[in-house]
């Protein structure tokens, strides 16, 4: 693979390559993604090894994951999301905000309300002036596990209200995203996240929803509208009886072409 990035950076590479593919790099709260628009461009040929190489921060573009935007018969577009280790995820809160922002800015969808198909169902996004909000569905409490709360938010999560613990991370990260949370006030929580297939990241959108839902379940927060602070930024989460709404930024980093 060889990489040509415009306009902000150029990465030299000695990879052997076969075809040129356009890409975009975006981030939500520091959680960064390589995005391929397979609606307007040829679909990239991705396998596990290629995904790992592209996400490698020394040998590739570098990212927490890859999002592929495809046509959808059920929604305005479809998002496929892959972790940095090459595994496929059902949903990603930070990535879907980036995809919604891109679809609107590139006029692929000419309205601010956008329906995006994912492996965990169709999500409704709304592009705001600076942020993007997404209806994430229900945050379902699944189980209590070893002092943690297992929650399904399209992706599997386990939330612990304590400082990060290496033994807990090793035990659960092969099957779950693992969050460690600290209550700041009735409306504010600090959080660190260790994502399945990636490791520690600066932020996780579905993880922020899981933490907010867990705090309400345990009676630790007195409001259903919570600001979740992560190492990469902040997300505003509103927990309803059947719907969780996530709101946060979606930023462009750079665009370019890569030969895969």
Q: What CA–CA distance (Å, rounded) separates 252 from 48? A: 25
In a 3-state reduction of DSSP, which class is residue 166?
helix
Pick from 71, 88, 8: nearest CA to 254: 8
Does residue 164 sit within a domain? Answer: yes
Same domain, 8 and 105: yes
Does residue 87 sit within a domain? Answer: yes
Same domain, 28 and 107: yes
- Residues 145, 231, 180: CA angle, nearest 5 degrees: 15
Q: Which positions ≥6 away from 105 have C-beta within 8 Å?
A: none
Q: Is the Cβ–Cβ distance between 33 and 45 less than 8 Å?
A: no
Same domain, 99 and 9: yes
Does residue 25 sit within a domain? Answer: yes
| For residue 238, pLDDT beyond 60 | yes
Q: Which two three-digit tokens encode residue 149?
A: 């709360």
Does residue 132 sit within a domain? Answer: no
Same domain, 154 and 120: no
Residues identified as active-site: 92, 204
pLDDT in tens, 43-93: 888 999 999 999 999 999 999 999 999 999 999 999 999 999 999 999 999
- Beta strands 225-230; 188-195: pairing state: parallel
Omega of the bond prior to 7 within 30 degrees of 0, cis? Answer: yes
At 10 the pLDDT is: 34
pLDDT in tens, 95-152: 999 999 999 999 999 999 999 999 999 999 999 999 999 999 999 999 898 899 999 9
Enclosing domain of residue 74: 2-127+250-259
Does residue 133 sit within a domain? Answer: no
Q: Is the Cβ–Cβ distance between 222 and 186 less than 8 Å?
A: yes
Band of pLDDT at residue 205, cut at 50, 70 and 90 = very high
CATH number for the domain spanning 13: value is 3.10.310.10
At 44 the pLDDT is: 87
Q: What CA–CA distance (Å, rounded) separates 45 from 7? A: 24
Q: In total, how many domains does the chain have?
A: 2
């Amino acid at each position: 693979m060889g990489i040509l990035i415009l306009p902000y950076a150029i990465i030299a590479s000695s990879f052997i390559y076969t075809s040129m593919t356009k890409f975009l790099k975006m981030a939500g709260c520091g959680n960064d993604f390589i995005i391929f628009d397979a609606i307007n461009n040829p679909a990239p040929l991705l396998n596990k090894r290629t995904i790992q190489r592209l996400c490698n921060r020394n040998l590739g573009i570098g990212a927490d994951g890859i999002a592929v935007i495809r046509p959808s018969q059920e929604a305005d577009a479809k998002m496929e999301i892959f972790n940095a280790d090459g595994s496929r995820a059902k949903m990603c809160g930070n990535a879907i905000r980036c995809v919604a922002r891109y679809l609107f800015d590139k006029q692929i969808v000419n309205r601010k309300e956008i329906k995006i198909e994912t492996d965990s169902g169709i999500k409704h996004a709304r592009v705001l002036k600076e942020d993007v909000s997404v209806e994430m569905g229900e945050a379902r409490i699944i189980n209590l596990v070893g002092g943690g709360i297992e929650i399904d938010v399209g992706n599997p999560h386990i939330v612990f209200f304590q400082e990060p613990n290496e033994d807990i991370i090793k035990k659960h990260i092969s099957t779950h995203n693992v969050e460690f949370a600290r209550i700041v006030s009735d409306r504010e929580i600090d959080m660190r996240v260790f994502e399945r297939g990636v490791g520690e990241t600066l932020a996780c959108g579905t993880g922020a929803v899981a933490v907010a839902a867990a705090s309400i379940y345990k009676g630790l927060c007195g409001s259903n509208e919570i600001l979740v602070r992560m190492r990469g930024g902040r997300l505003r989460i509103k927990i309803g009886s059947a719907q969780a709404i996530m709101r946060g930024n979606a930023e462009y980093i750079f665009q370019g072409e890569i030969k895969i």
